[in-house]
Chains A and B, each alone.
Chain A
Amino acid sequence: MTALTIKELNVWFGTDRDRVDAVKSASFDVGIGESFGLVGESGSGKSTILRAITGLAPMWSGEITVDGKRIQRATRDRAFYKTVQMVFQDPYASLHPRHTVDQVLSETLHLNGFKDINTRVVRLLDDVGLGGKFRFRYPHQISGGQRQRVAVARALAGEPDILLLDEPTSALDVSVQAEILNLLTDLRNEHKLTYLMVSHNLPVIGHMCDRLAVMKDGEIVEMMETDDLRHGTAKHDYSRSLLAASAVA
């Protein structure tokens, strides 16, 4: 059984003449405990796949299977939310500006039905490397990297198995990116999580993932192991041009 299976997924916006196909016939598997990457530039459809999985993109066709269960409808149920969580790209937009860190985490814990909220909040903050002094701050009082840590804590509050990561470090400084990527690596090992990570940055995907799919204009053009990436053995022209563009002196 895989953690996540996508088969012939199509996602579109608008109808008839205004229809835009954001994702076309995408198929891939993510094994349990694996870290899988989706690479592509803007408009490639990679983030849209994440939205389709979580129910934030209502018009789709094909098969999405999470934890062995087929997703049938436009909305998701509680069991789904306990299994799959997401970390968003922009740390400046993913936390409610009027809620303290404590409120964000407490609310999440409350919605997940936990009773020992205080202990869990303290533990979550500890897990992501934030001390107690951040607990009652508002988002505008903490930095981008710290906000992203809170976003990760929020995603982990419900003890999910699968984490969807939508460009989690694109909006962060290089030095902060390293900290967050290390945090994600550690958390994955500690909690035995499965990651589906989306990014336009090949070296980041290479660092975090075991396998990856390259997307262009809504389609998956190639699937690779990270080793292939490191050795530069890409088969599709587009993958090769992406590799060349990301090559560092």
Chain B
Amino acid sequence: MSLLEVENLWVRFPTRQGIFNAVRGVSFALERERLGIVGESGSGKSMTGRAILRLIRKPGIVESDAIRLEGRNLLELSEPEMRKVRGQKISMVMQDPKFSLNPVMTIGDQIMESFLLHNNTSKAQARAKAIAMLEAVSIRDPERVMRAYPHEMSGGMGQRIMIAMMLIPDPQILIADEPTSALDVSVQRQVLDIMDGLVKERGMGLIFISHDLNLVSEFCDRVLIMYAGRIVEVCDADKLHQAKHPYTQGLLNSLPRLDQPKKHLEVLKRDDGWADGESVGGS
């Protein structure tokens, strides 16, 4: 039994021009591994992550045969039961800590709130746990950070705080939606290493959503490539450069490379057939 199984996920949005299908028949399984979902804007990768956590509100429609967390179908849960799953069993780290951290609460308050929400402990214990968590994400002066506000933190620190907050309830799965896209290149490595270490240490599953194919291939074990709401290819991360689907190849080839100077970059020629094909199973 896999940690997470997604079967035939569809996410639809009714618009004035008809129904728009953001995710079309996506299926995959997640073990205790690092799974990357790569795609461009509009590929449906973020929607997939949010659908798993049932964060998509009306008028969005989520349909799936099943979304099973350790055998338990999340779609059958009531909203209060789902609330216990969110944060506790499956957590999500989003792109820009400027927008996902509450600007009017101190960082300490926010982390402790996250902890107290899921655990019935005293404030002092929550505080100790918060400080321990900040140290685990390599923040050198946790006491100072606890008293500070989000706007006083740099991007990299903010994201590390976000990771600390999301990992406090000890979830089994972490969904990271473009966690390093808003960060500088040198800070990206740091944050990714921290996430990597924590995920391995706790035996968690990680779903890493990104548009950066190279980053994902370095950081993950397996990669799913999405296009127009479907999975077009699944492969092991270290075999990415032997990818077979023309979209993946096109993406890889259209990147400028320092070691391969070209006059013109290869432009991806989109094939309408890619959007129509069956979604590749990602188990």
**Does B257 count as interface, using CB distance less than 8 angstroms?**
yes
The answer to whether A246 and B267 touch (CB under 8 A), given A173-B41, A175-B250, is: no
Contact A181 B258 (CB under 8 A): no
Interface residues as binary, A26-64 with B (CB distance below 8 Å gives 1, 0 otherwise): 000000000000000110000000000000000000000
Extra 19 A-B pairs, beta carbons < 8 Å, given A178-B255, A181-B256: A41-B184, A41-B186, A42-B184, A174-B40, A175-B40, A175-B270, A178-B265, A178-B268, A182-B267, A185-B263, A204-B256, A206-B256, A207-B256, A208-B256, A229-B258, A230-B261, A242-B185, A248-B257, A249-B218
Contact B256 A185 (CB under 8 A): no
Minimum Cβ distance to chain A for residue B185 (Å)? 5
Q: Closest 9 CB pairs between A and B?
A: A207-B256, A178-B254, A178-B265, A175-B268, A41-B184, A173-B40, A203-B256, A245-B185, A206-B258
Contact A182 B214 (CB under 8 A): no
Q: How many residues of B contact A (CB 8 A)?
A: 30
B residues adjacent to A (C-beta < 8 A): 40-41, 155, 184-186, 188-189, 211, 213-214, 217-218, 250-251, 254-259, 261-268, 270
**Does A124 count as interface, using CB distance less than 8 angstroms?**
no
Contact B185 A173 (CB under 8 A): no
The answer to whether A200 and B185 touch (CB under 8 A), given A173-B40, A206-B261, A249-B214, is: yes
Contact B258 A178 (CB under 8 A): no
Q: How far is the CA of A249 from the CA of B214 in the complex (A)?
A: 7
Q: How far is the CA of A249 from the CA of B236 in the complex (A)?
A: 14
Query: Which of A173, A179, A202, A230 contacts B267, CB < 8 Å?
Result: A179
Minimum Cβ distance to chain B for residue A46 (Å)? 12
Q: Would you give 7 A-B contacts (Cβ < 8 Å), ordered by A?
A: A174-B40, A174-B255, A178-B266, A185-B264, A206-B256, A207-B256, A245-B188
The bracket for how many chain A residues form the interface is 20 to 34
Which residues from chain B contact A144 at a C-beta distance below 8 Å?
A: 41
Contact A174 B188 (CB under 8 A): no
Which of chain A's residues has its CB closest to B185's CB? A245
Interface of B is mostly: loop
Which residues from chain A contact B189 at a C-beta distance below 8 Å?
A: 245
Which of chain A's residues has its CB closest to B40's CB? A173
Which residues from chain B contact A249 at a C-beta distance below 8 Å?
A: 214, 217-218
Which of chain A's residues has its CB closest to B252's CB? A174
**Does A241 count as interface, using CB distance less than 8 angstroms?**
yes
Which residues from chain B contact A248 at a C-beta distance below 8 Å?
A: 214, 257
Minimum Cβ distance to chain B for residue A154 (Å)? 23
Which residues from chain B contact A202 at a C-beta distance below 8 Å?
A: 258
